[in-house]
Amino acid sequence: MDRRGFLKTGATGLAGLALTSCGSSGSGGGRGGGMSGGGGNLQPSLNTGVFSRTFFTPPELTGTVNATTGRKVFDLTMQTGTKQFTGQGTTQTMGINGNFLAPTLRVVQGDNVDLNVTNNLGQETTLHWHGMRPPSDMDGGPHQPILNGATWNAAYTVNQRASTNWYHPHPHGTTAPQVYAGLAGMMIVDDAETQALDLPKTYGADDFPVIVQDRDMAADGTFTYSASQMETMQGKKGNTVLVNGVIDPVLDVPAKQVRLRLLNGSNSRIYNLSFATGITFQQIATEQGLLAAPVSLTSITLSPGERAEIVVDFTAVTGQSFVLRDANSGISFLKCDVVATTLVATTVPATLSATLTPLSRTQAVRSRAFVLSMGQGNVYINSKQMDIARIDEAMTLNQIEILDIQNTSNMDHNFHIHGVSFQLLTRDGAAPKAFEAGLKDTVYLPPNSRVEAIVQFGVATVANAPYMYHCHILEHEDAGMMGQFTVA
């Protein structure tokens, strides 16, 4: 079945459709109130500016070591469930080992992991380890479907530096509704370099996962996934922003340096995050791990799939509150109340990583173009839509290349590539912004923008299991803004 067919029925030109009825897609700053950015539901936001619910820290799973094989075993069940988000209406949801979202998986560089994934969703799915670097047949992309009732074993060696990653379904054409229903969790890699640093690292005490997602909620806090053609083109945006599945949570933070692992797990919303008081924080990591040195910032932009680790110093502000907000939507969505602590103080070191060896332009053998475009109600990469039977790019093993990624449309997109990390060389011809100067796997492309990223394809793909690259606005991904590559 061609799930993208409905897009082709739209007769209106895309640009006209967007500009006459929807306004811009919200990449810039400054849109005022808390209304939905995507049309559709016109309910006001359920974010009230009053924070009354308790912050939820997803449980941490460290795996069970098999005494014979030494492998770390994780049993994950993808299931349906229900959840009340406001104490009123009940929403049909999906979750992993629970009703909504998923446990935080915690692994160490060098671990051999066995991830046993059972699908009890009543529909086909996959489970992809976004930011992890497994062999391509363990990647959980659209080529590793898990039929309803089946169990899939993903076995691999964790072969990458410490980083904050995540896992979510990636079935061909139906990723957006499954993620929206609640299928997403964090996957954190530790390594010796990071463990040796004086960083906040006690999970749930001074080191918190912050999964930021929006949902288009009715007044009683229920939601269902639907996307009009316009919402599909703009990306489905919700009126309400949640953190770890909770609306307007309060987090009691210890009066010391605190690490927040920020993940934009939304289908399409782009956040420009800052504290309402404008305080400075330090970014210590991008998607693929530590920066060489911390970067002082007052705001950070995250497009879907992007992560950032930040450290906020609450040492001298016991009793005060700090509200995290999104300047793009005007929505405030998390309050941190600073409480006295007995935890030992930590101090972010001036040097974080000595092992980052940036690739230089002169090492690149070639530049490869990826043009993100829209037209006639469709979304394209290099003028093509995803065809699961077609390999779009054949990479040469160990070759260093420049990815020349261009958004030629007047809407937001981003670009995510599986199996590798990359580093930005330029953004619109200039040096990349400080908060995105580390190792990444996902990058934001505002309307009519261009980035160059340098990458080395260090792992060969397995037969019949290409890796993916795609726009991580999930409605675009499902509509075909994705391609496949091999490495040999």
The 46-85 site mask, x for binding ligand C2O (CB under 6 A), equals ----------------------------------------
Q: Identify which of 158, 107, 111, 108 has the alpha carbon closest to the alpha carbon of residue 134.
A: 158
Choose one: 88-96, 338-346, 397-405, 473-481; the region binding Cu ion (CB under 5 A). 473-481
Q: Of 95-103, 223-231, 285-293, 476-484, which segment contacts Cu ion by CB under 5 A?
A: 476-484
Does 130 bind Cu ion (CB under 5 A)? Our answer is: yes
In the complex with ligand C2O, the residue whose CB is nearer, 143 or 470, is 470
Nearer to Cu ion, 309 or 478 (CB): 478
Binding part of the chain for ligand C2O, among 29-37, 59-67, 386-394, 464-472 by CB under 6 A, reads 464-472
Selected range binding Cu ion among 75-83, 130-138, 314-322, 349-357, rule: CB under 5 A: 130-138
305 binds, among ligand C2O, Cu ion, none (CB under 5 to 8 A by kind): ligand C2O
Q: Return the ∠ at Cα 144 (arms to 107 and 463), rounded to 5°.
A: 100
- CA dist 310 and 315 (Å) reads 15
Site for ligand C2O in 124-183 (CB under 6 A): 128, 130, 168, 170
Could you tell me which of 256, 259, 79 has the C-alpha nearest to residue 151? 79
User: Which segment (61-69, 229-237, 313-321, 467-475) binds ligand C2O by CB under 6 A?
Assistant: 467-475
29 neighbors 328 (Cβ within 8 angstroms): yes
Q: How far is the CB of 130 from ligand C2O (least distance, A)?
A: 3
Q: What is the smallest separation between the CB atom of 408 and Cu ion, expressed in angstroms? A: 12
Report if residue 471 touches Cu ion, rule: CB under 5 A.
Answer: yes
Candidate residues 171, 476, 482, 484; the one interacting with Cu ion per rule CB under 5 A: 476
Between 41 and 303, CB nearer to ligand C2O: 303
DSSP 8-state class, residue 475:
H
Q: What is the dihedral of CA 315, 320, 324, 328, to 10 degrees?
A: -120
Q: What is the DSSP string of 394-440?
A: EEPTT-EEEEEEEE-SSS-EEEEESS--EEEEEETTBPPPGGG-SEE
User: For the chain, how big is the Rg over CA atoms in Å?
Assistant: 21
Shortest distance in whole angstroms from residue 30 CB to ligand C2O: 28
241 binds, among ligand C2O, Cu ion, none (CB under 5 to 8 A by kind): none
Stretch that binds Cu ion, among 41-49, 213-221, 359-367, 472-480 (CB under 5 A): 472-480
Per the listing, tokens 């993100």 go with 372
Report the candidate in 41, 101, 5, 477 with the shortest Cα–Cα distance to residue 224: 41
Check residue 470 for interaction with ligand C2O (CB under 6 A).
Answer: yes
Provide the token pair at 263: 């993940």
Indicate which of ligand C2O, Cu ion, none lies near residue 256 (CB less than 5 to 8 Å, by partner kind): none
- List the one residue out of 365, 363, 368, 394 whose CA is nearest residue 381: 368
CB of 443 to ligand C2O, least distance (A): 13
The site partner of 471 among ligand C2O, Cu ion, none (C-beta below 5 to 8 Å per kind) is Cu ion
> Are 187 and 131 spatial neighbours (Cβ–Cβ below 8 Å)?
yes
SS3 (DSSP) at 256: coil
- Whole-number Å distance between alpha carbons of 54 and 48: 15
357-396 residues near ligand C2O, rule: CB under 6 A? none
β-strands 249-254, 207-215 pairing:
unpaired
User: Which residue matches tokens 């053998």?
Assistant: 365
Binding residue for ligand C2O (CB under 6 A) from 106, 261, 418, 427?
Answer: 418
Shortest distance, position 250 Cβ to Cu ion, whole Å: 32
Q: How far apart are CA 22 and CA 18, in angstroms?
A: 5
Nearer to ligand C2O, 168 or 440 (CB): 168
Torsion, Cα of 351, 353, 357, 358 (10° steps): -70
Is residue 468 a contact residue for ligand C2O (CB under 6 A)? yes
Out of Cu ion, ligand C2O, none, what residue 470 binds, judged by CB under 5 to 8 A for its kind, is ligand C2O
Q: Are 464 and 143 in contact (CB under 8 A)?
A: yes
**In terms of CB distance, is 258 or 468 closer to ligand C2O?**
468
Region binding ligand C2O by CB under 6 A among candidate stretches 92-100, 317-325, 395-403, 468-476: 468-476
Nearer to ligand C2O by Cβ, of 100 and 167: the residue is 167
Partner in contact with 253, chosen from Cu ion, ligand C2O, none, beta carbon below 5 to 8 Å by kind: none
Q: How far is the CB of 286 from Cu ion (least distance, A)?
A: 15
Maximal CA-CA distance, the chain: 64
Residue 473 makes contact with Cu ion by CB under 5 A: yes
Cβ contacts of 94 within 8 Å, gap of 6 or more: 78, 79, 80, 81, 100, 121, 178, 181, 182, 183
251 binds, among ligand C2O, Cu ion, none (CB under 5 to 8 A by kind): none
Q: Which two tokens stand for residue 432?
A: 């990349």
Contacts (Cβ under 8 Å, ≥6 apart) of 54: 246, 249, 250
Judged by CB under 6 A, the residue of 161, 416, 427, 476 near ligand C2O is: 416
Residues lying near Cu ion in the complex (CB under 5 A) are found at 130, 413, 418, 471, 473, 476
Residues lying near ligand C2O in the complex (CB under 6 A) are found at 128, 130, 168, 170, 305, 416, 418, 468, 470, 472
